[in-house]
Chain A
Amino acid sequence: EDQVTQSPEALRLQEGESSSLNCSYTVSGLRGLFWYRQDPGKGPEFLFTLYSAGEEKEKERLKATLTKKESFLHITAPKPEDSATYLCAVQAHNAGNMLTFGGGTRLMVKP
């Protein structure tokens, strides 16, 4: 069974304080790993897709990396507007297009 575990569950940062969120996964053949941002009461908003170990993608203050067992979402010099829940999800080769999500990391950035 595919599993996705995210840590920490919650993270409080001061504005400008860089940090990383972790997503560990167990999947029978990774097709893709996805990062989403979710604001309270809203649907997940797509951020990145990573397909193979060693791949990296960047968008503004966010950078996602991938190894064979985990992915990191690095946040550089965060701002209060980066506060949200960040979700990681995997798509397996033998599971069609369905996504298996982790529990998310709730990020709070204080000014």
Chain B
Amino acid sequence: EPEVTQTPSHQVTQMGQEVILRCVPISNHLYFYWYRQILGQKVEFLVSFYNNEISEKSEIFDDQFSVERPDGSNFTLKIRSTKLEDSAMYFCASIPTRLAGTLSYNEQFFGPGTRLTVL
């Protein structure tokens, strides 16, 4: 069964360093997301991406964050200058449906996550 994959599974970095988290969505999926979950807290939406551009973003997704789909398969989240409070699990998700008028109802398939630890 196809699944979303994420690398690395665990990333440790120093405060102020740049990190890139990578995701390979399911191959026929068209809509991509990043969420994060700080330890013991709710899963929080960061950004959605469709047709090579950001569709929506939350207040968390400030200028330190960026996303791109560099090669048609990978979907990356970059944090330019990490802060201690960026330590969290970061989940990538995708859905297959092409948006047409009103948005899709389809369920989001999540990857296993990358645990980011900022020291």
Q: Which residues of A contact B (CB under 8 A)?
A: 31-32, 34, 36, 41-46, 49, 51, 87, 89, 91, 93, 95-104
Contact = CB atoms under 8 A, between A and B. Distances in A.
Interface string B88-109: 0101010100000011111111
Residue of B31, B33, B35 ringed by the most chain A CB atoms within 10 A: B35
A103 B33 contact: no
Q: Is the interface on chain B under 10, 10 to 19, 20 to 34, or 35 or more residues?
A: 20 to 34
A96 B108 contact: no
Nearest to A46: B107
A43 B31 CA distance: 18
Contacts of B108: 34, 46, 97, 99
B48 interface: yes
Interface in B62-119: 89, 91, 93, 95, 102-113, 115
